[in-house]
Amino acid sequence: MVEKKIKADKKVKTDDVNHPHEHAHDDSHTHDHEHSHEHEHVHTDHSQEHVAKPSSGSSLQEGDFVEIDYSGWLKDNNSLFDTTDKSLAEGAGIHKDTIAYGPIIIKLGRNQILKGIDEALKGKSIGETIKLEFDPEHAFGKKDAKLVQLVATRKFTKEGIQPYPGLTVNIDGMNGLIRTTSGGRTIVDFNHPLASKDVRYEVKVLRKVTDHDEQIKAYLDMQMNLQAEVKTEGGKTTVKTKQDVPKELHELLTKAIKENISDSLNIEFQKL
C-alpha cells in the first residue's frame, strides 16, 4: 500500500465507475481516462467465432463509421456486465437509468470501444455477428497491487463526503472503489472493476453510417461526450450542442470533425 497524496486544490468527488457503455471517452481510450482501465495493447484472444454471416455486403475498414449492438459476459459465471440491449440489461438486473440503451455508432480505429472488438470488426460484413473471448491482459487488465492505495479519510470529509465500503469515488481523474475505512484511513481500489476477469462479447454489425450529419453527431457523442443536433443546409453544417462549448474550443472541435469526417465541411456551432 502507498499513501495517496492529494493536493489541497484537488477535489475528491463521488462518481460512477466508468461503465463500458457509458460515455467516458477520450482519444486514448478507451474509452479513457487519466488512469486507463483498459490494457494498452488489446487484441482478440485465440477464440473468435463468426455466426450469421451474410452472403453479400462490403467489408468494414479502418475509418468506417459503423452501427453495432453488443453484449458482454463474464466467462466464469456467464453474468452479463454490459449491453446495448435494454431488455437484456433489465433481465440481468444491471439496468441503469443513466445509460442510453440502443445501438451505438463508432469509428473504427479510434478505440471508442474495447480495442479487441475494434480490431475484430475490421473485415467483417454488414449483418454479421461475431463472438469474441478475451483474457484479462486483452480486456480490462490484471489487478495491480499498486492501484490499491491508502487515502486519509479527512481528504474525503473535507469535501463533504463520508466514505464507506462500496462507494465509488473520483480522485484526480481516477475512478476508485472504497474497500475499507477505519482509523482515519480509507483503502481505495483504482483497479478496473473487471480487472483479472475473462470476458466474452457478442457483437452484431448493423450498418455502415455514411451520412456526414450522423457521423458528426456520433463522433461528438462517443469521442467528446457531447450531445448535439447536426443539420446541413445550403453548404453549411450547424452543430447545436446541449452543453456549453467555449468559443475557444470551436476551432479545435471543427479541426477534429474535419479530420475525422470531411475536410470540406463548413461548420458552425450553436447552443441548443
Residue 172: which of 2, 8, 3, 1 has the closest Cα? 8
CA distance 131 to 205: 12
Q: b/e for 102-128, b at 16 or more Cβ within 10 A?
A: eebbbbbebbbbbbbbbbbbeebebeb
Strands 236-241 and 267-271: parallel
Domain(s) labelled CATH 2.40.10.330 in the chain stretch across 12-16+145-189
Is the pLDDT reported for residue 2 higher than 80?
no
CA proximity to 74, closest of 83, 66, 61, 65: 83
Q: pTM for this structure?
A: 0.75
- The topology (CATH level 3) of 48-141+195-208 is Chitinase A; domain 3 (3.10.50)
Give the pLDDT confidence of 172-212 residue by residue, as tens digits. Answer: 889 999 999 998 999 999 999 999 999 999 999 999 999 99
CATH 3.10.50.40 intervals, the chain: 48-141+195-208
Residues 137-175: tens digit of each pLDDT: 999 999 999 999 999 999 999 999 999 999 999 998 899
Per-residue DSSP letter, 110: S
CA 90 to chain centre: 20
Architecture of domain 12-16+145-189: Beta Barrel (2.40)
CA–CA separation, 116 and 136 (whole Å): 12
Q: Where in the sequence of the chain do the CATH 3.30.300 domains occur?
A: 212-271
Beta carbons within 10 angstroms of residue 238's beta carbon: 16
Query: For the domain bounded by 212-271, which CATH number is listed?
Result: 3.30.300
